[in-house]
Amino acid sequence: MRAIFTIAFREWRTLFQSPLAWTLLAVLFAISAYLFNSMIHYYNQLQMQIRMSGYGGDQIQELPFTEVAISPMLGNTAIILLLIMPMITMRLIADEKRRDTWPALACSPLSPMQIILGKYLGLLLFLLVTVLLLSLLPLSIMPYASPDMGQVISGFLGLFLLAASFGAVGLAASSSTDNPIVASVSTFGILLGLWIISWMGGEISGSAGAIFSYLSLIDHYQPFLSGVISSTDLFYFILLSVAGLLFARQRLMAERING
């Protein structure tokens, strides 16, 4: 366990020392802040329309601020993560192979699963900091609005689980190649496929359509934005993450066997 935490801390420190990670984090926060500001402006416009329609001031307070401003922002933030996570995860293993620093770690007494868990834990710590920074956006509006904190917490939990599953898929792709660009493109292709697969599920009837719908990332993320935390959705994100980690482990074991 100590070895896992050592690798995790090393990976976490490397991520925060990377100009690329800082740049992507800044882009994510800037775009999310802009989207949140736009949603607040839209919310104020709706309030003005209600006021001008003659329903009375009391009706304005009934507008669900979380539904109008925060949930849409989190939905758009997930799309941004879909675009930038492949660039963050591409270097986890592939870049070490490219820089010839990987053999020393791969040939160490550590098991492949310890290496994978250490790198994944370091990535999760980075994502946790990212989500906490994003949570400052709705917190900044607390003195002026009354968001549903239960729904807000649910939404950010869903965002973290979504990002964690993105990271596991990216780690799996990074373990399959020594080219970070190939790892990034592969990760994006897999995530995009899982994002839009529900479109196929809606066009196909029967068990095949149900399977496609179940595999959809967005179908399992959307309930969190509505404040619904389902064991089915939790299990999906955990299952996807575990599948990615197990695939990466198998790749590392195969490399050790093949020398």
Q: Which domain holds residue 18?
A: 2-258
- For residue 60, pLDDT over 50 is answered with no
Q: How far is CA 83 from CA 2, 14, 63, 184, 256, in A?
A: 33, 21, 32, 10, 32
180-206 tens-digit pLDDT: 899 999 999 999 999 988 776 556 666
| Cα–Cα nearest to 161, from 153, 119, 184 | 153
* Contacting residues for 112 by C-beta, under 8 A, at least 6 apart: 249, 252, 253, 256
Q: State yes or no: pLDDT of 46 exceeds 60.
A: yes
Computed over every residue of the chain, the mean pLDDT equals 85
- Which residues have a Cβ under 8 Å from the Cβ of 26 and sit 6 or more positions away? none
Contacts of 162 (CB under 8 A, 6+ apart): 78, 81, 217, 221, 237
The Cα 177–Cα 97 span in angstroms is 8
Residues 6+ apart with CB under 8 A from 251: 172, 175, 176
CA torsion, points 145, 149, 155, 160, in degrees to nearest 10? 110
pLDDT, tens digit (0-9, with 9 covering 90-100), for 136-148: 988 888 877 778 8
pLDDT for position 59:
45
Q: Looking at residues 91-102, what average pLDDT do you find?
A: 73
Q: Where are the alpha helices (DSSP H) in 135-230?
A: 136-140, 149-174, 180-203, 206-215, 217-225
CB under 8 Å, gap of 24 or more: what pairs does 28-34 form?
A: 28/77, 28/80, 28/81, 28/84, 28/130, 28/134, 29/133, 29/134, 31/76, 31/77, 31/80, 32/73, 32/76, 32/77, 32/80, 32/134, 32/137, 33/137
Q: What is the pTM of this model?
A: 0.89
pLDDT of the residue at 244: 93
State how many domains the chain has. 1
Three-class secondary structure of residue 162 per DSSP: helix
H/E segment holding residue 114? helix 112-134
